[in-house]
């Protein structure tokens, strides 16, 4: 066990809170992520503490220290408070009584018992880099599991036997691959081996918890590293099986790019195309990143070996969109994210025809209208997906995309593409054709919308003439 005094640049609010606890005869220590982030010189405004005091004993201290208070975690011994600084930033703290947890093998929810020591509390943490503490206000660094050493080596290791750790809480396996993505660390061999042996345990974790870890992974600094770790560990076979399925077998007769490696490249390229906070796709963008990750998951189901050694994946965009919807629903993602991600996957090949033949204004107008608010994301996904090493093809593709985006910008100056409607509304259509509400009104409306997209805005007389011409044909048939 390492207990040394250190000269940290610690939050003054943390030291003040520690003094308030000490004045009442209680221990208080900063623990977990905030200590790790201190050593990594990473900013943090949410501080976690543990204490020798019981909740009813330290609740008055938090009321005195903060301007806001919450107690949703009271049954777990956790209370929280917030303080607003003069510059408007907030410091949030959560304080938990020393704990020792016991687990039911069929559940990751622990039976919580109060502990009696800081060192005992640290033993129940997920990884050694999160099992360090800093006593406040005296700033004594406590590191019984050599987490600082692992932090310097950028290694993830459990404080206790890894199989016991993952048996107690299988979600820690997902946290391991998430930390690979967030911190760029590697998983210690014995810890990685334990994850591989115990992947089935993840099945007792709720879909919402898995989704939250996957979301944090995808929004991190190195998501592709996390995805690789997810696949290598075997966890992906259970929580996201469509991704390891992309590692298609290659043989000497039917060679093609490994779809898994291509997917990782597309994710990295899509991230590079995200914008600053004032741009159209601010980083990090979960929708774009998920679409990039899942855009080719339809390929294994649609792979066909053609003559001449070629391989085809016809309709993998539509198949992939359906598969993505099923998986994202199972993971309990928000329906808005599901719809947007699946629409992007379904449309990610839409642009390719433009490279071969320049579209008319009507086709450009349709593309902008149909992609709607996903226009900027779709173009970034399309660019990211163009991973050819042929410089000439790459330049032609990029120039065509530049041209399309400029044409859309010019058309938007002339008309509101996102709000395009027929030049005649439903009421006018019924009046002109002397129709009652019914299917033919909808059919006429759709025709007039197509006409508007093809022709651009026209005056009312021309729109009426087109409607009557269409009705002369359609009415006679019906």
Helix, strand or coil, per DSSP, at residue 326: helix
Rounded average pLDDT over 48-52: 97
d(CA 172, CA 201): 11
Residue 433 banded pLDDT, cuts 50, 70, 90: confident
What's the predicted TM-score (pTM) here?
0.82
Pick from 26, 10, 29, 110: nearest CA to 60: 26
**Higher pLDDT, residue 46 or 193:** 193
CA end-to-end distance (rounded Å), the chain: 87
| Cβ atoms 1, 119 nearer than 8 A | yes
pLDDT value at residue 273: 97
pLDDT value at residue 478: 54
Give the tens place of pLDDT for each residue, 88-117. 889 999 999 998 766 566 655 656 678 889
Beta bridge mates, 74: none
Residue 434: DSSP 8-state: T
Looking at the predicted structure, is the pLDDT value of residue 49 above 60?
Answer: yes
DSSP H helix total and E strand total for the chain = 23, 14
Looking at the predicted structure, is the pLDDT value of residue 123 above 80?
Answer: yes
């Amino acid at each position: 066990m390492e207990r040394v005094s250190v000269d940290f640049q610690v939050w003054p609010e943390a030291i003040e809170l520690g003094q308030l606890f000490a004045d009442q005869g209680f221990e208080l220590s900063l623990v977990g992520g905030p200590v790790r982030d201190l050593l990594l010189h990473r900013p943090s405004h949410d501080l976690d503490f543990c204490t020798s005091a019981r909740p009813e004993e330290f609740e008055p201290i938090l009321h005195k220290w903060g301007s806001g208070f919450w107690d949703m975690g009271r049954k777990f011994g956790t209370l929280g408070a917030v303080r607003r600084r003069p510059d408007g930033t907030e410091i949030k703290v959560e304080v938990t009584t020393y704990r020792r947890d016991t687990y039911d093998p069929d559940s990751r929810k622990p039976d919580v018992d109060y502990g009696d020591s800081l060192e005992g509390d640290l033993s129940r943490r997920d990884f050694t880099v999160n099992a360090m503490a800093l006593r406040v206000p005296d700033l004594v660094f406590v590191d019984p599991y050599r987490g600082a050493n692992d932090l310097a080596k950028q290694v993830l290791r459990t404080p206790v036997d890894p199989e016991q750790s993952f048996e107690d809480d299988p979600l820690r396996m997902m946290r391991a691959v998430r930390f690979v993505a967030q911190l760029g660390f590697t998983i210690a061999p014995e810890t990685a081996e334990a994850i591989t042996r115990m992947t089935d345990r993840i099945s007792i974790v709720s879909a919402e918890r898995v989704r939250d870890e996957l979301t944090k992974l995808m929004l991190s600094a190195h998501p592709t590293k996390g995805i690789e770790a997810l696949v290598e560990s075997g966890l992906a076979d259970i929580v996201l099986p469509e991704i390891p399925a992309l590692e298609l077998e290659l043989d000497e007769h039917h060679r093609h790019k490994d779809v898994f490696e291509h997917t990782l490249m597309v994710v990295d390229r899509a991230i590079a195309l995200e914008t600053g906070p004032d741009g159209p796709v601010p980083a990090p963008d979960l929708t774009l990143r998920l679409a990039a990750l899942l855009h080719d998951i339809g390929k294994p189901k649609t792979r066909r070996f053609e003559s001449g050694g070629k391989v085809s994946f016809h309709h993998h965009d539509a198949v992939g969109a359906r598969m993505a919807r099923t998986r994202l629903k199972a993971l309990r993602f928000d329906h808005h994210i599901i719809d947007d991600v699946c629409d992007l996957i379904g449309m990610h090949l839409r642009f390719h025809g433009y490279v071969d033949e320049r579209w008319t204004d009507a086709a450009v107008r349709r593309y902008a209208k149909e992609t709607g608010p996903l226009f900027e994301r779709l173009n970034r996904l399309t660019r990211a997906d163009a991973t050819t090493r042929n410089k000439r093809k790459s330049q032609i593709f990029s120039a065509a995309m530049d041209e399309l985006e400029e044409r859309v910008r010019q058309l938007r100056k002339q008309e509101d593409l996102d709000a395009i409607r027929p030049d005649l509304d439903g009421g006018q259509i019924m009046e002109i054709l002397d129709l009652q509400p019914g299917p033919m009104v909808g059919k006429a409306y759709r025709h007039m919308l197509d006409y508007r997209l093809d022709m651009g805005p026209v005056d009312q007389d021309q729109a009426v003439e087109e409607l009557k011409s269409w009705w002369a044909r359609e009415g006679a048939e019906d």
